[in-house]
Amino acid sequence: MKTLNDFNFNNQRAIIRVDFNVPLDEHFNVTDTTRIEAAKPTIDKIISDGGSVVLMSHLGRPKGFENNYSLEHIVGSVEKILDYKVKFVKDCIGSDVEQAIKELQTGEVLLLENLRFYSEEEKGDLSFAEKLSKFGDIYVNDAFGTAHRAHASTTIIAQFFPNKKCFGLLLAKEIESINKVLSDSEKPVTAILGGSKVSSKITVIENILDKVNHMIIGGGMTFTFVKALGGKIGDSICEDDKLDLAIEILKQAKEKGVQIHLPIDVVAADSFSNDAKTQIVDVKQIPDGWQGLDAGPKSLAIFDRILKDSKTILWNGPLGVFEMETFSKGTIALGESIAEATKSGAFSLVGGGDSVAAVKQFGLEPKMSYVSTGGGAMLEMLEGRVLPGIAAILKD
């Protein structure tokens, strides 16, 4: 696996695919700079080698050239975090870009305009990729968040750099962290899968059953399993067409010696509201008109014991509706249990939009071994898929 550290960038111009698809407020201020911060070590290494940097990224889902999605809005934040002057050009191909590239000096950083202003980017257009390839001597992919897309800048471009392409430090770390869970894990391994739907996690569950010792299932998925086992779930969320699948998963887990842990009690509410009336009930005895919205205290005590004994932990999905304070306690307690296990030497990997949002919201991010920057990409890797953006770098 060729990484940044296999190259010396002295007098070389690196064209880097970064993931600067960051959230902006109504005044175009960046509200979360995590992805920009994550790219800094790669850019620092190239500049300190004596190279120059051309950055390319997408932002949002524009339909053609839309000012709301211009990367010009983020230049100030990028400069502040990188601590370099960042030049910007209002296009990503064409004569203006060619001129800006010609003028780029050693130690300088140039940011190109939003790649998705051109439909050719998402189509994986060969000619568009070739035009982009002319702007660098070495191609670096450091955008894990888009590594599962066969787009022009993430995958197709790599073929124009047969011996001069590599993973950036962030993307290499993402691959290493996921492999640490899937291939090189220290036992016991515990996976926590939360979220609302079994259907969105089924391939992940099937792929990791051979690799884990414990699987904690939480969130809305719980109730499909509980109903399949004959429990009363009241008005809780449930995928009725997945009941047989839930039983099949439990059967497969038993055959493989994997212990599946469902909550045994839940915080039930009489409406989907932060101000709802609540009661703690047995997960199999939720009254009609009530719905389970968080894991209960007995469940959290069991999960805590399992996690404290684990050496490798994967967390993908919250235990409850953590966006509402009333139903956030389960997710917070789970996060604190993982933090304690990590402090005692376990390796913890957190990924998926909601889990990442939760660890950030509750100040737990620094207490985890690694927090992934790519939700969809991480899920696909956990499903056992080879991501096109990764395969393109590995290909000779």
**Residues 218-258 pLDDT 10s:** 999 999 999 999 999 999 999 999 999 999 999 999 999 99
Backbone φ and ψ for 189, nearest 5 degrees, come out as -105, 130
Between 367 and 184, where is the model more confident?
367
Provide the annotated binding site for ATP.
201, 292, 323, 352-355
- What is residue 196's predicted lDDT score, i.e. its pLDDT? 84
Co-location of 103 and 189 in the same domain: no
Q: Where is the domain boundary, 123, 147, 172?
A: 172
| 334 part of a folded domain | yes
- Which two tokens mark 216? 């904690």
Are 252 and 246 in contact, with CB atoms under 8 Å apart?
Answer: no
267/204 same-domain check: yes
Q: Residue 174: pLDDT band by 50, 70, 90 thresholds?
A: very high
For residues 309 and 154, give the distance between their C-alpha atoms in angstroms, rounded to a whole number: 39
- pTM comes to 0.89
For residue 394, being part of any structural domain is answered with no
**Does residue 390 lie in a domain region?**
no
- Tell me the pLDDT band of 184, cut-offs 50, 70 and 90: confident
Instruction: Give domain status of residue 387, yes or no.
Output: no
Q: In the predicted model, what is the mean pLDDT of residues 344-354?
A: 90
**C-alpha 366, offset from chain centre:** 16
Beta strands in the chain (DSSP E): 13-17, 52-56, 86-88, 109-111, 138-141, 165-167, 189-193, 214-217, 232-233, 259-261, 265-269, 278-282, 285-286, 291-295, 312-316, 347-350, 370-371
The answer to the question of residue 253 being in a domain is: yes
pLDDT digits (tens, 9 = 90+) for 19-44: 999 999 999 999 999 899 999 999 99
Q: Count Cβ atoms within 10 A of the Cβ of residue 98 and give its class: 0-12 exposed, 13-18 middle, 19 or more buried.
A: middle
Same domain, residue pair 236 and 300: yes
Residues 347 and 369 sit within 8 Å (Cβ to Cβ): yes
pLDDT at 208 over 70: yes
List the alpha helices (DSSP H) in 209-242.
221-228
Chosen domain end from 172, 199, 219 = 172
Domain match, 94 and 197 both: no
Question: Containing domain of residue 124, as a range?
Answer: 4-172
pLDDT of residue 302: 98
Work out how many domains the chain is built from and give that number.
2
pLDDT of residue 69 exceeding 70, the answer is yes
Angle between helices 169-182 and 375-382 (to 10 degrees): 40
> pLDDT of 127-162, one tens digit each?
999 999 999 999 999 999 899 999 999 999 999 999
Share of the chain above pLDDT 90, in %: 88
Where among 122, 140, 172 does a domain terminate?
Answer: 172
pLDDT exceeds 80 at position 63 = yes
Residue 388 maps to a domain: no
Do residues 209 and 159 share a domain?
no
- Please indicate, yes or no, whether residues 92 and 212 belong to a single structural domain of this protein: no
Band the pLDDT of 353: cuts 50, 70, 90.
low
pLDDT of 340 over the 70 cut: yes
Clarify whether residues 205 and 341 are in a common domain. yes
Q: Is residue 389 part of a domain?
A: no
Strands 347-350 and 312-316: parallel
Token digits for 66? Answer: 């839309």
Mean pLDDT over 328-347 rounds to: 97
Measured distance CA(336)–CA(2) in Å, rounded: 36
209 and 352 fall within a common domain? yes
Average pLDDT for residues 309-319, to the nearest whole number? Answer: 95
Per-residue pLDDT, averaged over 97-124, amounts to 98
- What mean pLDDT value characterizes the chain? 95
pLDDT, tens digit (0-9, with 9 covering 90-100), for 282-300? 999 999 999 999 999 999 9
The answer to whether residue 59 is domain-embedded is yes
Which residue carries 């391994």 as its tokens?
Answer: 189
> What CATH number has the domain bearing residue 61?
3.40.50.1260
- The span from the CA of 394 to the CA of 396, in Å, is 6
The distance from CA 338 to its chain's CA centroid, rounded to whole angstroms, is: 18
Check whether residue 342 and residue 211 sit in a common domain: yes
- In b/e form, how buried is each residue of 245-272, taking b as 16+ CB within 10 angstroms? bbeebbeebeeeebebbbbebbbbbeee
Strand, coil or helix: what is 59?
coil
pLDDT at 199: 85
Which residues form the catalytic set?
35, 197, 353, 376
Same-domain check for residues 90 and 226: no
How would residue 195 be classed by pLDDT, with cut points 50, 70 and 90? confident
Q: Residues at the annotated binding site?
A: 19-21, 35, 58-61, 116, 149, 201, 292, 323, 352-355
